[in-house]
Structure 1
Amino acid sequence: MLGIIYRDLKPENVLVREDGHIMLSDFDLSLRCAVNPKLVRSANPTVDPKNSNYCIQPSCVVQPACIQPSCFVPRFMSKSKKDKKPKPKSKPKTEIYNQVSPLPELIAEPTSARSMSFVGTHEYLAPEIIKGEGHGSAVDWWTFGIFLYELLYGKTPFKGNGNRATLFNVVGQPLRFPDTPGVSFAARDLIRGLLVKEPQHRLAYRRGATEIKQHPFFQSVNWALIRCATPPDVPGPSMENGGVDVKPSGNYLEIDFF
């Protein structure tokens, strides 16, 4: 939404706030671009807007998986005994969901921006940056794929014995998944889509974050309310006075940041 190509996503730059939500740091390599939001698909509810028997509130219409059926059942107004009729059988949930079309689909990120700069960290560089072909926002989705791979497997997929070997692997070696630990098919499919070497075929190249949000890996995420969601883990302070906890251990210092 802000038109920023970050270009340096890696674990060191992702911080966990005190409320458990995450934030990015270190925008030194970022590129600010002009953004023209574009409406890809508008919402066309099948329910007649003139019909006041139905309520379609923004808080209810989030995603099919999050729809509350109570928001879409008829509101039976108080009537006289003569006007009262037997209540029709309630519709199955699938029918209720079908009454509501998806929310408008909006692209508001620099999908067409281009840069020739060679910036980033070797293990996270996208192939188009290494080749010097110019790059756009697709490099962030490549880096996001590397980031997810490292979170799940504990290492990056193309790391070599040195920087030169790493760059060669990024450009020339295929993506491989270790046998262990076991990772879901949806997670591997997401990473595979993000780590396509040709940016024009990479997941999110055309529609940006919209494509990522619609991937099965994130099917249980309510994106509209993500800022209000309770994180799975909320870190607590490890010492009362705050700061940095430095513990001597042999010839090294163990530094715990929080």
Structure 2
Amino acid sequence: MLNDGLSNYNHNVNNHRRTSSTENAALRPHTGGDVRWEAINSISSREPLSISHFRLLKRLGFGDIGSVYLAELRGTNAFFAMKVMDKESIASRNKLVRTQTEREILGLLDHPFLPTLYSYFETDKYYCLVMEFCSGGNLYSLRQKQPHKYFTEEAARFFASEVLLAIEYLHMLGIVYRDLKPENVLVREQGHIMLSDFDLSLRCSVNPTLVKSSSTHMNSGNASAAGILENENVTHGAHPSSFFPRILPSKKSRKSKSDFGLFVGGALPELMAEPTNVRSMSFVGTHEYLAPEIIRGEGHGSAVDWWTFGIFLYELLHGMTPFKGSGNRATLFNVVGQPLKFPEHPHVSSAARDLIRGLLVKEPHKRIAYKRGATEIKQHPFFEGTNWALVRSATPPHIPDPVDFTQYACKDAAPLDKKVQDVIQDKNSANHDDPPYVEFEYF
């Protein structure tokens, strides 16, 4: 079975090699004018990309199934984050499926708050994913640098709004993220976020539904948007762009709003794409962020992402998670058995507390957003005043210092084999008391 899996993975990679980067770029309109695409295309239009086209300059982080390096595409002055995964290690630890799932998900994504996969290829020893480099580190590191190790409510609202849109998009594609935490939220050079690390994600089918009015949300017979688990790693569906239904008619037949059958009370219909019926029995995630249904082994679906969103927002506002115990076992016990409490300091608004309470309901079917997904959270008073159509244009609360790439101009990069061996040695000799994160975290 393992050999068959390797053969299928290699077959898929080789098929993708025959797809030009130009074709891939055309499927990602939000990256229009991206100089990195231009750099990739300048090489791939002449020959297939390989590891020899890159200089690996600095290790940015390492995780369970790979290591990430800052890489320069030779002769282009374009920089990327390259995730390198050792084939032998993946095969021996039965991580092939996770590797393939992450690659497939990255290949689907086209969203301003999610990573762009520029290319992927393999060597005799490694699988390589060429992705977007985020120069601002992650939100955990940024939170640690705040005066009291927590964000202002305004800053937390900004980061939470962008994360919310990213999760909404993933759910629309039938992807349950399952690993939201500040370490996995990277900060781009302009200050906007990018969600990372998809090797724990679950793929399923989903049926996006247009809901005509808010009154129908209470009628499950009129608005079914349930996802049915096909396989933890295989989904059957259309290309992401087909998930967006046409609301307005074509210009040739365009009429006034009052003539539209989809408009109710002058309001646009809502798109609901929450795969609520998906069920997985996997025990995955970070202890402080695990949803109760995962710990209880009841089977879980997309509602786990809304639980982790609540923990995430709590941590941004308070500088800690709500159920952390003296150890992992105590933490799991607290998640399942202890009520949610808020510290007296720092003070947060009643709207923020109300939203967190709604998200951190221990029974998933009673949790806010369980059926209506992100739409319900967007309408919560905590996000009052947020212009969802222009979130991408909002001013970030923090702009990272620019990276001085000239420091790498004359530096010879060590061979890939030596770099990966260094990572293995670092893992074996690591102090177990060290925090499980690095400044740049991609896992």
For the criterion TM > 0.5, the same-fold answer is yes
Aligned counterpart for 1:14 among listed residues 181, 185, 196: 185
Q: CA RMSD in A?
A: 2.8
- 2:379 corresponds to which residue? 214
Distance 1:100 1:138, change over 3 A: same
Q: CA deviation at 1:233?
A: 2.7
- 2:275 corresponds to which residue? 110
Residues 1:205 and 2:370 are matched in the alignment: yes
Task: Summarize the alignment of residues 151-170 of structure 1 with structure 2, pairs less than 5 Å apart.
Answer: 151-170=316-335
Distance 1:257 1:237, change over 3 A: farther
- 2:390 corresponds to which residue? 225
The aligned amino acid for 1:49 is S
User: In the aligned structure 2, how far is the partner of 1:50 from the partner of 1:204?
Assistant: 29
- 2:266 corresponds to which residue? 101
Distance 1:176 1:16, change over 3 A: same
Aligned counterpart for 2:201 among listed residues 20, 24, 30: 30
Distance 1:256 1:163, change over 3 A: closer
Deviations 1:161-220 (A, max 9, x none): 111100000000000000000100011111000000000110100111111111010111
Residues 1:149 and 2:307 are matched in the alignment: no
Check the 8 A contact 2:274/2:371 in 1, yes or no: no
Distance 1:123 1:116, change over 3 A: same
User: In the aligned structure 2, how far is the partner of 1:221 from the partner of 1:232?
Assistant: 15
Task: Structure 2: state its 5+ residue gaps.
Answer: 1-171, 215-254, 259-263, 409-433
Check the 8 A contact 1:111/1:208 in 2, yes or no: no
User: In the aligned structure 1, how far is the partner of 2:257 from the partner of 2:309?
Assistant: 44
Deviations 1:112-141 (A, max 9, x none): 211111110100000000000000100000
Distance 1:240 1:5, change over 3 A: same
User: In the aligned structure 2, how far is the partner of 1:200 from the partner of 1:49?
Assistant: 39
- 2:349 corresponds to which residue? 184
User: In the aligned structure 2, how far is the partner of 1:170 from the partner of 1:119?
Assistant: 15
- Percent of residue pairs bearing the same amino acid type: 76
Distance 1:188 1:210, change over 3 A: same
- 1:60 corresponds to which residue? none
- 2:58 corresponds to which residue? none
Q: CA deviation at 1:100?
A: 6.8
Distance 1:242 1:7, change over 3 A: farther
- 1:61 corresponds to which residue? none
Report SS of the residue matched to 2:310.
helix
Distance 1:242 1:21, change over 3 A: farther
Report SS of the residue matched to 1:39.
strand
- 1:193 corresponds to which residue? 358
Check the 8 A contact 2:257/2:266 in 1, yes or no: no
Q: Number of residue pairs matched?
A: 199
Q: Which structure dedicates a bigger proportion of its chain to helix?
A: 2
The aligned amino acid for 1:236 is D
User: In the aligned structure 1, how far is the partner of 2:374 from the partner of 2:257?
Assistant: 34
- 1:84 corresponds to which residue? none
User: In the aligned structure 1, how far is the partner of 2:176 from the partner of 2:277?
Assistant: 11
- 2:211 corresponds to which residue? 40
Q: CA deviation at 1:35?
A: 1.5
Shifted more, 230-239 versus 4-13: the winner is 230-239
Check the 8 A contact 1:144/1:194 in 2, yes or no: yes
Q: CA deviation at 1:101?
A: 2.4
Check the 8 A contact 1:111/1:207 in 2, yes or no: no
User: In the aligned structure 2, how far is the partner of 1:176 from the partner of 1:29?
Assistant: 29
- 2:54 corresponds to which residue? none
Check the 8 A contact 1:29/1:120 in 2, yes or no: yes
Check the 8 A contact 2:274/2:370 in 1, yes or no: no
Deviations 1:31-55 (A, max 9, x none): 0111111111269xxxx9389xxxx
Task: Summarize the alignment of residues 44-55 of structure 1 with structure 2, pairs less than 5 Å apart.
Answer: 49=256
- 1:123 corresponds to which residue? 288
User: In the aligned structure 1, how far is the partner of 2:257 from the partner of 2:330?
Assistant: 65
Of structures 1 and 2, the larger Rg is shown by: 1
TM-score under structure 1 length normalisation = 0.70
User: In the aligned structure 1, how far is the partner of 2:305 from the partner of 2:392?
Assistant: 22
TM-score under structure 2 length normalisation = 0.42
